[in-house]
Structure 1
Amino acid sequence: MAGIPLTPVPLAAAARGAVALAVPLLVGVGTGAVTPAVIAAIGALWGVSQDGSDPYRLRVRRLVCMGLAAAAGLLAGELALRGGHTASVTVCLAVAAVLAGAISLRGPLASVVGMHLLLGVTIGSGIPVPGPWWQAPVALLAGVGLVVVLSATPWLWRRHHIERAAVLAVFRAASEALSAAGTPAAEAARRQLTAALDHAHQVMGRHLDRAGRAETELGALLGAFHMAVRLGEVTSALVWEGRPLPRSVTDVPLLMAGQLLPDRGELPASVPGTAGSEASSPGLRALAGLYAESGRARPQDAAPRLPAHPWHGAGRLRYAVLLPACVLAAQVCAELLHGPRGYWLPMTVAFVYKPDFGPVFRRALHRCAGTVAGVSAIGAVTLLTTDTYALIGAVAAFGALMAVGVRHHYALATTGLTAIVFVLLDLLGDHRALYGERILDTALAAAIVLVAHFALWPDSAAGRAAAQTEAAVAAALRYRDLAPDATSAQRHTLRRTAYHRLAEARRAAAHARGEPSRPGRTLPAWEEAITAAEQLCDAVSARNVAASPPSMLSAPRRTASDAVGE
């Protein structure tokens, strides 16, 4: 569609996905140790699903925690299966689901850990693995370890590359926001600037308490980040003024980036004129002042930590009850339909029922679509060839597809995962024709989740949207009321907190609107309250740089109570 920028294909991640999945299988086939190799490939498969583009330390931490949780779950499920009692398998699944639900909503990392603990139990209790009891968990950890090595190795030669890219993205977003000033695209461009600042803030988070010398790479990054925070305030003020700006002004953020983080040829070295020559308003003069300071920026103020929005205790408790209920229902259906090896149903429930990952209805729909596509794709491959090495090549290709899908679309990731699992099961000796059954199992698991979620917890997404909108509007009002008497550091803390909460509230509102609602029910106009609060924050920023008189600052047109009231 015209006007929508295309996200680059993550070629490095795709290559890592292909290598991580192919290498264990090639080693296993070559040495005859096929079963441990397949378990290692399952570990690599889950590792690829969590191989992000965030800083290396955070990436490694997530992969290690995920691997340990999955290995522990696999061991527990394996021991339950070896006990020979169906009841022990069911109890193990129920306990794992309760634990997963209890910890999943404590944060992004806990969510990943909880899901893979449950996945490990599901696979361990559903697929008999010969050999000593410790072999499968060790093999799984080896597969995850391979992904860790592939993902973190670039740290050796580009240690702060990810942080640098995130900070540079803020300056580019500021330039785009200034270019959009005075046009209908200004609000969207300012939101993109907020998103870029939020991302840079998260990426730089572990460095913000450090004192880096300006001549070091980290010191330069810290100075550039703090300048980017100040630039966000000035840019918001100029966007709020609502008048078009000349090229000599809109390229100033790029000039600043070139001074703060030099040696990047894609950033312009100079532009016609200067910001100062155009400084016909306090906002423009503030921009010119920032540009003059950019050659000697120092990280003087401690940056704030971004606030989190954990789910309330009642929501966590309800999810901790519903998840095991869904898993148990899926396990009962699996026993009735398939007997042994009925792991697909509870495994799909574990993947689908993640309200913190996005709308449950959309996730279930994408899961079903991806399963159909994956079954069709691997079915077409097996019609052409059943050669083991050709199938391993197909696994590599689907691993690359999955790595791309993890970053772009859940259905695409599910397509790759489904096809890979079929090959892995075939290598384990399960040669049954299960294509149609797995599609039906996926649809049944999705139906179980949707019925439980919308019958017993229909207002979960709307409740989060209401709570986050109210908190965001309150943060905007605090910014308005406290900024005049705050220090520079306190003012930037108030501002970043307000804009961050507003961005989260907007995402929560979109999440709620992506879920089906009861017939005849109209959701509150959260977006109107959020937009009004954003405009208030822009006006406060304008006042802070002396671009408008205090009398311009009124409360949002819609209050929090207006927005969240039923």
Structure 2
Amino acid sequence: MTPAADARPDRPARMPRLPWRRLPLAAAARGAVALALPLLVGQLTGWVVPSVIAAIGALWGVSQDGSDPYRVRVRRLGLTGLSSALGLLAGELALRSGQSVAVAGCLVAAALVAGTVGLRGRIASVGGMHLLLGVTIGTGIPVPGPWWLPPLELLAGVALVLVLSAAPWLWRRHHVERAAVLAVYRSAAEALAAAGSEGAEETRLRMTLALNHAHEVMAGHLASRARWKRQPEVRELVRAFHCAVRLGEAVTALVWEARPLPSAVTGVPLRLAERLLPERDAAPAPPRPALPVTDADSPGGRALADLCAAVDEEPDVDDLTLRLPARSWPGRAARLRYTVLLTGCVLAAHLLAEGLHGPRGYWLPMTVAFVYKPDFGPVFTRALHRCVGTVVGVAAIGAVSLLTSGTYTVIAVVAVFGALMAVGVRHHYALATLGLTAVVFVLLDLLGDERPLHGTRILDTALASALVLVAHFAVWPDSAASRAEAQTEAAVAAARHYRDLAPEAGPIRRQALRRAAYHQLAEARRTVTHARGEPARPGRSLPDWEAAITAAERLCDQVTAQVVAGATAGRS
């Protein structure tokens, strides 16, 4: 029962302060409803055990709920449900066989599969993790009834989260894509407002990151010409994104010119957004934005004026298929090493649990299953946050148990901690673990497990985390650093490729080169942050990758300014 995949790896170790305006209130409400509703139905109907299994599925679903496009959520949650149900079925059959060898073999097989697909992309990694997670629960919690029923109950719980998460698609179908594209225009306005000041480069970087995010969110629409031709709202979004890409180039040139800009210029991105993405049922779109002639004398100003003049034009078909560069995943040797290490850690955790607790000692291998996820963030930080969240969660549910009684009060407590977990999934892994730990204790209590488990859970979490850390840093200590090194080199190479080809490239090719370079640089920053979160080997300091990335970003900015100057000079 894991939180999850989407917990950010680059969050600081301390609990962050979360302003109310940034809290994912809709996700928190979904988490509360998804976990409390099955338990409430179970109490009203008397089907307590099936409701608890469904709640476990909902717990997994909440851990994979997100704020990305609905089609991505459906794929991720669908794979979560199918893989976890299959894992639960396999683990349950192994447990019912009564053979300890079958249980260990099932765990090893699941770990091999999870490790094989674990570094092949986010959705594949989520599927592998939940397959292993389902096996650990199936081999550790005996469930009465026919063998085929618990997987269906688990699947129903995940399906509930899927329905709650994807339901807004019915009335705000492309809300996520719209918000991502609008964020580019807002960040562009901030960058123009900061032009000529010390914070200009930082605001330009935020605009680039917003454009990267919008490109990722819009990638599916850009790749499908039939979709944007068939759906007017998608065509509107595609045109707005196309203009946002051109806007990014013009703003980069203006920021590079390093001079303060008048409000007539800094307000252009927001006026463009109002025209291209007007609110539904709003007044007619405002007139086309125009720049004062005196402010269009510089190359960046002329590029912005050209964009304003062409805002109502339909983009070229080739522009609509602007593609993201392919992600580079770890090679075969890295995947093989991870598979072997994960499998060994899971088997060792299972044997350790058998020696310490006998049957039903699933917490140790379960903790290994989701702590050892190097693609989700620094392993050391993830293990630390897991331990902190478990300790606080155990203390919180212990205090609540002393103060509350009654089944419906307990269900309300589950709703509260489910909402807390949903917030933590998006903001901090320790916070997500806190909510998860508390919910798990309630679910086990409803299943009739009356063993004193508070200290045991803390000990098991510490042991599993220590097992992962010892194995990982003894055998593969440089994994994050090697990844950061390779990604930084690829990003710098992309920036130089842009420098070499952009002056002679046409507008479409130039935009593709620029987007690829900036996207690679953003990925490099992410992997470097990941590497900084791992403890360095004694006597070895990590290279200053950030300096190389910053230099490459400035090179891209300079090339963009020079290319824009040449392009606008040719038309003047």
Contact 1:171 1:228 in 2 (8 A): yes
Q: Which residue of 1 aligns with 2:123?
A: 109
Deviation at 1:92, TM superposition (A): 0.7
Which one-letter code corresponds to 1:338 in the other structure?
H
Q: Who is 1:536 aligned against?
A: 555
The letter of the residue matching 1:175 is A
Residue 5 of structure 1 deviates from its aligned partner by 8.2
Are the structure 2 counterparts of residues 10 and 348 from structure 1 closer, same or farther at C-alpha, using a change threshold of 3 Å? same
Partner of 2:484: 465
Equivalence for 2:195: 181
What is the alpha-carbon distance in structure 1 between the residues aligned to residue 351 and residue 182 of structure 2? 52
1:440 deviation in Å?
1.0
Identical counterparts, % of pairs: 67
- Matched AA of 1:176: E
Give the letter aligned to residue 178 of structure 2: R
CA RMSD of aligned residues (A): 2.4
Task: Tell me which residue corresponds to 2:9.
Answer: none
1:132 and 2:146 matched: yes
Does residue 23 of structure 2 align to residue 23 of structure 1? no
Q: Name the counterpart of 2:240.
A: 224
- Shift in Å at residue 293 of structure 1? 1.7
Counterparts of 1:266 and 1:54, CA distance in 2: 29
How far is the alpha carbon of 1:386 from its aligned partner? 2.8
**84, 87, 90: which one pairs with 1:73?**
87
**1:64-92 CA deviation, whole Å, 9 max, x = no partner?**
01110000000000001001111111111
Query: Structure 1 segments of 4 or more deviating over 4 A?
Result: 1-7, 264-273, 547-550
Partner of 2:263: 247
The amino acid that maps onto 1:121 is: V
User: For residue 231 of structure 1, what is the amino acid of its counterpart?
Assistant: L
Match of 1:157 in 2: 171
Q: State the alpha-carbon separation in 1 of the partners of residues 288 and 235 from structure 2.
A: 27
Distance 1:249 1:547, change over 3 A: farther
Give the match for residue 296 of structure 2: 279
* Amino acid in the other structure paired with 2:279: D
Query: Are residues 253 and 4 of structure 1, via their aligned partners in 2, closer, same or farther at CA, if it must alter by over 3 Å?
Result: farther
Preserved contact between residue 368 and residue 465 of structure 2 (Cα < 8 Å):
yes
Alignment match, 1:405: 424
Q: State the shift of 1:192 in Å.
A: 1.2
The alignment partner of 1:90 has SS state of helix
Long gaps (5+) in structure 2: 1-14
Moved more, 411-420 or 237-246: 237-246
Would the alpha carbon gap of residues 379 and 267 (structure 1) be closer, same or farther in structure 2, given more than 3 Å must change? farther
Structure 1 residue aligned with 2:108:
94
The answer (yes or no) to whether the contact 1:96–1:118 under 8 Å persists in 2 is: yes
Q: 1:554 maps to which residue? A: none
The answer to whether 1:517 aligns with 2:536 is yes
Aligned length: 550
Taking a change above 3 Å as real, the CA distance of residues 378 and 12 of structure 1, as seen in their structure-2 partners, is same
Q: For 1:262, which of 278, 299, 302 is the aligned residue?
A: 278
2:494 maps to a residue whose letter is: A
Per-residue deviation, 1:138: 0.2
Hey, what does 1:308 align to over in structure 2? Answer: 327
Q: Helix, strand or coil for the counterpart of 2:310? A: helix
- On the 8 A contact 2:180/2:213 being kept in 1, the answer is yes
Letter in 2 for 1:394: V
Aligned partner of 1:417 in structure 2 is 436
Q: 2:221: which partner in 1?
A: 207
CA distance, structure 2, for counterparts of residue 299 and residue 273 of structure 1: 23
> Residue 430 of structure 1: SS of its match in structure 2?
coil
For 1:215 and 1:478, how far apart are their aligned partners in 2?
Answer: 36
- Amino acid of the structure 1 residue aligned with 2:426: R
Q: Which residue of 1 aligns with 2:161?
A: 147
Contact 2:83 2:131 in 1 (8 A): yes
Give the distance between the partners of 1:357 and 1:295, measured in 2 at CA. 42
* Structure 1 residue 191: Cα displacement: 1.7
Q: Does 1:236 align with 2:255?
A: no
Residues 227/74 of structure 1: CA separation in 2 closer, same or farther (3 Å cut) = same
Whole-angstrom CA distance in 1 between matches of 2:466 and 2:198: 42
**Partner residue in 1 for 2:469:** 450
Matched with 2:344 is 325
The one-letter code matched in structure 2 to 1:210 is R
What SS does structure 2 have at the residue aligned with 1:503?
helix
Deviation, structure 1 residue 549: 12
Question: CA–CA distance in 1 between the matches of 2:284 and 2:295?
Answer: 21
Report the TM-score when normalising by structure 1: 0.93
Distance in structure 2 (CA, Å) of the matches to 1:220 and 1:201: 15
Aligned partner of 1:369 in structure 2 is 388
Measure how far apart 1:214 and its partner are.
Answer: 10
**Gap change, CA 1:5 and 1:178, over 3 Å in 2:** farther
Displacement after TM superposition at 1:186 (Å): 1.9
Partner of 2:210: 196
CA distance in 1, matches of 2:17, 2:311: 32
Partner of 1:380: 399
Kindly indicate whether the alpha-carbon contact (under 8 Å) linking 2:177 and 2:218 is maintained by their aligned counterparts in 1: yes
- The 5-angstrom pairing of residues 485-504 of structure 1 reads 485-504=504-523
Q: Of the two structures, which has the highest relative contact order with CA contacts closer than 8 Å and spacing of 6 or more?
A: 2
How far, CA to CA, are the matches of 1:223 and 1:35 in structure 2?
A: 52
- Offset at 1:248? 1.6
